[in-house]
Amino acid sequence: MDFNDTPQEAEFRKEVRSWLDANAPKHLEAELKRASFGSNGLESEDPIKASKAWQKKKAEAGWACLHWPKEYGGGARSAMERVIWSQEEGPYSVLSGLFTIGHGMCGPTVMEWANEEWKERLLPPLASGEEVWCQLFSEPASGSDLAGLRTKAVKADDGSGDWIINGQKIWTSGAQNSDWGLLITRTDPDVPKHKGLTMFFLRMDSPGVKVVPIKQANGASGFNEVYFDDVRIPDDQRLGDVGNGWKVSLTTLMNERLSIGSGMSTGFPELFKFCMDMEIDGEAATADSGVRSKLAQFAVKQSGLKYTGMRAISALSKGETPGPENSIGKLVAGATMQELAMYALDLQGEAGVVWDEDSPQNGRFQAMLMRSPATRIEGGSDEILRNIIGERVLGLPGDIRVDKDVPFKEIPTSGKAKA
C-alpha cells in the first residue's frame, strides 16, 4: 500500500501543475477558496464571465472535458488522469460549476443519442464553455418518481412534424444562464408511465419558455422553475425514439450520480479548526470529552469518505473499475454536514442563532446548516440512494410498483388518492 503516483502519473501531474501555474486566474484564488454554499463567491468579477473565460482557456489548451473524445472538444484522458487534474485544479474547479450539468450529464446524453450533425454542432461549444446547458427533468409533482412527469409534448397539427410543449419543470440549476436545455416530456399518457416518455433538446430562448427563479428555504436562489407555453421544437431535436425517453434519461442520471458523489465536503476541517480556536471554561474546546466524542465521530466519517475515494482511485490507477463503495459519498456527506453544522451552532451557544459577518468563520456554519437540507435531496434523495445501495449493491428486491402496468392517465395523483 502507498499513496504515491506511478511514474507516468507523476509525469502527468507535473504537466498539469506547470500549465496551471502559468495559466490559472490566480487573482481569483483567494475569493474562490472562500466559496460558500450555493455560489462561487466571486464579487470582484462577474462570475459567469470569469467561468466562461477559464473554460475557454482550458479548452484552447486541451484541458476541457477531459472525459470526452477529442473530436467533440474533449481531452480524451484516462479516468486516472481526470482524477489528477481535479486534484490539481483545486479552488479553480469552483469556476466549472456553471458547466457541471452540461459537461457531466447533458453532453454524455447528446453524445450517445444525437446524430452526427448535431453532435458536431452542439458538443464543441459546450466543451469550450461558449454555450451552457441545463437539465429539464424534475417537476413539481415528480421528483424521486421522475417517470411520473406530466409536461406534455404533442405533434403539431400543421404537418410540420414539430412538437408542441406545455407544462412546467422545477429545480433547474442554471436555467437563467443556459443556451440549451435537455427536456424530458410525456408523449403518450395511454401507456404505463415509463413507456410514454420522449427526450428533446431545445434553445432556452425559444418562444414560450419562461424561467423564474425559486426562492429557496435558505433565502438563496440557485434553482429555477421553467414554464413551457406552446413551445415549438423541431422533430430533429428529439433524442432517441418516441416513447424511449426513459432509456435516454438513464444515460443522464447515471452520469449525475457519478459527478455529484465525488469529492464531497462534510465541513469537518472547518469544524475542527473552529474547535481548535475556541475555548470552553478556559480550556481548548478540543480538550472537552463531550466535544471530543462528537468530533471523533465526524472525523471518522470525513476520513472514511476520503479513503473510500482513494480506494476508488487505486482501482482506476490499476486500470480496474472501482467497486460500488463510492455510492455512499453523497449519502454520508450530506447528513454529516447537516449534523455537523447544527453542532457547530450548539457550541456557539445562544449566539449560534446569529448569522452575519461577525459569526465564527463569517457565518459558514449557519450557511451550511441552512443549505444542507438540499444536499440530502438533490441528485437523488437519501432515501433513493439507500434504495440504490439496497437493490444494486446488496441485491435486495425492488419495491412493489403498484403503478407499473397502469396507463399513466389512470395513476392516482396527489390529493386524489383512493381511500
Cell (9 digits) for 34? 472562500
| Mask for 260-279, x = binds other proteins (CB under 8 A) | --------xx--xx--x---
- Of the residues 300, 351, 353, 354, which one makes contact with other proteins according to CB under 8 A: 300
What gap in Å lies between CA 292 and CA 347, rounded to an integer? 12
Hey, what amino acid is at 174? Answer: G
Q: Which helix (H) or strand (E) holds 184?
A: strand 180-186
Nearer to other proteins (CB atom), residue 245 or residue 309: 309
Size of the site for other proteins (CB under 8 A): 57
Q: How far is the CB of 287 from other proteins (least distance, A)?
A: 8
Q: Which is nearer to other proteins, 8 or 160 (CB)?
A: 8
Rounded to 10 degrees, what is the CA torsion of 336, 342, 343, 345? 140
Choosing from 93, 100, 177, 314, the residue that interacts with other proteins (CB under 8 A) is: 314
Query: Among 35, 76, 264, 291, which residue sits at the site for other proteins (rule: CB under 8 A)?
Result: 291
Nearest to 297 by CA among 345, 331, 336, 344: 336
Whole-number Å distance between alpha carbons of 110 and 135: 12
Read out DSSP for 74-92?
A: -----HHHHHHHHHHHGGG
Which of 299, 342, 377, 406 is close enough to bind other proteins by CB under 8 A?
299
Can you name the residues that pair with 197 across neighbouring β-strands? Answer: 186
Which positions are annotated as active-site residues? Answer: 256
**How many Cβ atoms sit within 10 Å of the Cβ of residue 271?**
25
Q: Which residue lies nearer to other proteins by CB, 52 or 301? A: 301
> Which of 296, 351, 353, 354 lies at the binding interface for other proteins (CB under 8 A)?
296
Of the pair 71, 383, the CB lying nearest other proteins is at 383
SS3 388: helix
The verdict on 145 binding other proteins (CB under 8 A) reads no
Q: Would you call 232 exposed, middle or buried from its count of C-beta atoms within 10 A (0-12, 13-18, 19+)?
A: middle
Q: Which of residues 6-45 bind other proteins (CB under 8 A)?
A: 9
Options 190, 208, 254, 307; binder of other proteins; rule CB under 8 A:
307
Residue listed under C-alpha cell 459577518: 357
Cα–Cα distance measured from residue 204 to residue 299, given in angstroms and rounded to the nearest whole number: 44
Within residues 319-338, the interface with other proteins by CB under 8 A covers: 325, 328, 331-332
Which residues make up the interface to other proteins (CB under 8 A)?
Answer: 1-5, 9, 268-269, 272-273, 276, 284, 286-287, 289, 291-293, 295-297, 299-308, 310-311, 313-315, 317-318, 325, 328, 331-332, 383, 385-387, 389-391, 393-400
